[in-house]
């Protein structure tokens, strides 16, 4: 199932929008990943634990954001190469509904199920 040029441009636009949103979120989230101050004279033990937990959650969120940006960049490269929407495993077209749900999808449903 080949994508029309119009659909291809829509997916490219969606990917660029997602990328911009993630980059913007990354700029605001980097401060939350900074080293937590552990000065016991300034904050209590539970406050430090909360701060460490919040930092760990922010680091994981940042890791996932960076991982998603890599996937988006790869999808944009596939758009440029004329390979977007083709399964990397079997070469068949990925259903547009699957691409709507995840425009970074690289496998058709059959191949994705085979990998599970």
pLDDT confidence of residue 64: 95
Give the count of alpha carbons within 13 A of 97, CB side only. Answer: 1
Return the residue matching tokens 């085979």: 114
Output the domain CATH number for residue 67. Answer: 1.20.120.910
Task: State the burial class of residue 89 (Cβ atoms within 10 Å of its Cβ: 0-12, 13-18, 19+).
Answer: middle
Determine the Cα–Cα distance for residues 48 and 39; give it in Å rounded to an integer: 9
pLDDT confidence of residue 45: 66
**How many structural domains is the chain composed of?**
1
pLDDT confidence of residue 14: 96
Region label for 85, one of left (φ > 0), alpha (ψ between -120 and 50) or beta (otherwise) = left
Q: Which residues of the chain have pLDDT under 70?
A: 1, 28-45
Helix residue ranges per DSSP H, 1-44:
5-29
pLDDT confidence of residue 1: 53
Domain housing 72: 5-115
Determine the Cα–Cα distance for residues 67 and 69; give it in Å rounded to an integer: 5
Q: Does the predicted model carry a pTM greater than 0.85? A: no
pLDDT confidence of residue 25: 86
For residue 34, give both structure tokens.
């900074």
Check residue 106 and report its DSSP letter: -
pLDDT tens for 92-114 read 999 999 999 999 999 999 999 99
pLDDT confidence of residue 40: 57
């Amino acid at each position: 199932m080949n994508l029309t040029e119009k659909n291809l441009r829509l997916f490219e636009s969606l990917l660029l929008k997602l990328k911009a949103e993630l980059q913007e979120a990354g700029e605001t989230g980097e401060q939350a990943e900074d080293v937590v101050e552990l000065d016991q004279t300034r904050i209590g033990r539970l406050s430090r634990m909360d701060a460490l937990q919040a930092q760990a959650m922010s680091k994981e969120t940042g890791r996932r954001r960076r991982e998603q940006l890599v996937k988006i960049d790869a999808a944009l490269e596939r758009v440029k190469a004329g390979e977007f929407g083709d399964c990397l495993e079997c070469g068949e077209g990925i259903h547009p509904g699957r691409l709507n749900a995840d425009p970074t999808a690289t496998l058709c449903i059959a191949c994705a199920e085979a990998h599970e």
